[in-house]
Each structure stands twice: as structure tokens, then as C-alpha cells.
Amino acid sequence: MITATANGRNSVPAGPPAAKAAIRTEDLRKTYKSSRGDVEAVRGIDLDIPQGEFFGLLGPNGAGKSTTIGMLTTLVHPTGGRAWVAGHDVTRQPVAVKRRIGVVTQNNTLDMQLTVAENLEFRSRFFGLSKAVAARRAAQLIDAFGLSDRKNAMADQLSGGQGRRLMIARALVHQPDVLFLDEPTAGLDPQTRVNLWDILKVLHAQGQTILLTTHYMEEAEALCDRIAVVDHGKILAEGTLGKLLADAGAETIVTVRYEQPVPDGLAERAGLADRPGVTKVETDGDQIRVFSGDPEGLLGDLVNIGAASGLHVRDATEAKPSLETAFLALTGREYRE
């Protein structure tokens, strides 16, 4: 178990309208000045995340996720709207906010000249814990995060998964009200990723409020109570997984790849778009992709349509409705830099 230790921290005082919310924003905005004019990175985001919720923030590259996290963690100054974290205004009370949040970035920010234990103890002292309490807190977290056999190892001697576990442990030394995780499992192997999920599930079960950004759809599905999909600085959809699937009109995607390029106009001549339940048909090189809410028999039809034109099937897939299909329906399929 990951349990709290007594450190004498006072309870969070009542604050503005967000006093009972872990995170709340009202029309939060950020505009950057550039030589090419104003760039609206965040264009009016409203969030209301209660205490104890595991909330996911998803979006393509450049959607505004990092800027939003930057404003909530006081690293980026908003140009419009307001935001509160743990009942404190991020602009007017940045020090109070910093004392009540833990942040794990995608990049490794461990002190490589310190051991595992020292990374935790020094961070604890930074937040005002006594030397004795800091040592106890470090020992507790080392045990909870499975780092006991590495406690005296230098940070630069850790594997990727060990380093990421230590970063999360370090973010928790002062028992923050809100934990921000920015793509915490990026670049990790599947086994390490799943093990980290187990740790995060325990934290959540014990009441920790967590805001997660990730590019792994299955990660958000496995961990998050609610999810917001962000693009072009605005929230496109928000809610539970079931609500997102319903609101986004997520459908089954049937894709057939042929051994030869698809002739121009084949999908139109075959009347695919007129088939009941079909909302979109895409032809791309040697494949046809059909979005449908009623996919029964569709795969066989695509095989027959191809055969009638002398096309032999190379492979075929049928992707059932999921967070990934909802995400693509909301944000599109184009590449993002």
C-alpha cells in the first residue's frame, strides 16, 4: 500500500468557486506572440475535475495539452480566463498551487548525481519535511514503488521503467492534492507500462487526484474515469468512455487492402456510401476504408466488390468502436508534426 505519513501539513483552506474541485478552469486561454502573428494555443477551455478523479487529457500534437498543463502547474501564464488547482488561483496564488501539486514530465528530470534515496529525501526537505521525516517518507516510497534493491544506486544507473517509477515517487513525497502526469509511459516497453498502470490504479484507489496526458488510447481506457479530447486549443468532447463513444458517433472501421491499387470511382460505382449505416468511405492507394454503424456483411461485400474488378485481397481488418476510433472521428486522420 502507498500510505500517507504524518508531516504536519495543514489542510487546504477554502478557496474561490473551485474550493471543492481539484481542478477548475473557466474560459482558460493562452495566446503566444510570434513574428507571424498571434498563435492561439488554448482557446477557451472549461474543466471541472472533482477530488479523487483520474482525468485524461488527449489530443494530437499541437492540440494545446502541454500549454494547458503548463498553465495549471503555474509554468505558463494565461492570457485569458481563470484556473484554480486545489482551491487556489494559479495566477494569483502560484506558490500555494506549487505546494499542492506533483508533476511528472515526459523527460527525465531526476538529479543524476544523487542516489534513488537522495532524490526522494532532498525533494522532501525542499517541501519542509524534517530530516527524519524525509528519510521515513523516502523509505516508504522506495518500498511502495519496488525500488528497495536500487535505493543506493545513482539515478543514471536506473532502467527507463525504474527511472519513471522514481519520478512518480518523487512527485508524491509531499502528498500533493493533484498529481499531473505528462505522458508518463512514453517510450517504455509494454510490460513496464502495465506495471506502472498498476501503481497508478493503487494511487487512484487511495483517493489521489490525477490528471494524465497520453498518446496511448488503451492507457486512457484502462485508467481514466473521464476523458477530454482537445484539438486546436478547444475541448471537442468530454465524459466517460461510454459517453465519448456515443457523442463522437464512433463506428466500426472496415479496411480492405488489395494487391493492386483501387481503380478511381470504384467505391462510388459500388454504392458503398449509400449502404445503410455507412457514414464515410475513404479510398487510399490500394485500400478502401469504410466507417459504419452497421457493419454486418460489409467485409464480405468489399471482398466481392474487389473481386468483380479483378482485385485480390491482401489483408482485411475490422476495428470495433473504441476510444481510438472516437478520437480519430473527432480529430481527423491527418499527420501532425
- Chosen CATH of 251-320 out of 1.10.287.110, 3.90.1170.50, 3.10.20.600, 3.30.70.100: 3.30.70.100
Least confident of 11-15, 52-56, 271-275, 298-302: 11-15
Question: Of 121 and 16, which is predicted with more confidence?
Answer: 121
For 88-97, what is each residue's pLDDT tens digit? Answer: 999 999 999 9
Q: For residues 125 and 275, what is the distance between their CA atoms, to the nearest angstrom?
A: 66
Q: 21-246 has which CATH code?
A: 3.40.50.300
pLDDT of residue 28: 98
Least confident of 179-183, 258-262, 287-291, 326-330: 326-330
For 117-130, what is each residue's pLDDT tens digit? Answer: 999 999 999 999 99
- Domain locations along the chain: 21-246, 251-320
* Sheet containing 313-319, strands listed edge to edge, beginning at the edge strand earlier in sequence: 278-284, 287-292, 252-258, 313-319
pLDDT of residue 334: 58
Q: For residues 190 and 132, what is the distance between their CA atoms, to the nearest angstrom?
A: 37
The pTM for the full model equals 0.76
pLDDT of residue 337: 52
pLDDT of residue 12: 31
What DSSP element (H or E) covers 117? helix 116-126
Q: For residues 122 and 88, what is the distance between their CA atoms, to the nearest angstrom?
A: 26
Q: What is the 3-state secondary structure (H, E, C) of 313-324?
A: EEEEEEECCCHH
Residue 331 has pLDDT above 50, yes or no: yes
For 162-171, what is each residue's pLDDT tens digit? Answer: 999 999 999 9
CB 284 within 8 A of CB 261: no
Alpha carbon separation from 178 to 25, 104, 255 (Å, rounded): 15, 11, 42
Report CA dihedral (264, 266, 267, 269) to the nearest 10 degrees. 120
pLDDT of residue 234: 95
- C-alpha 26, offset from chain centre: 21
For 39-65, what is each residue's pLDDT tens digit? Answer: 999 999 999 999 999 999 998 888 999
Residue 19 has pLDDT above 60, yes or no: no
Res. 6 pLDDT band, cuts 50 70 90: very low
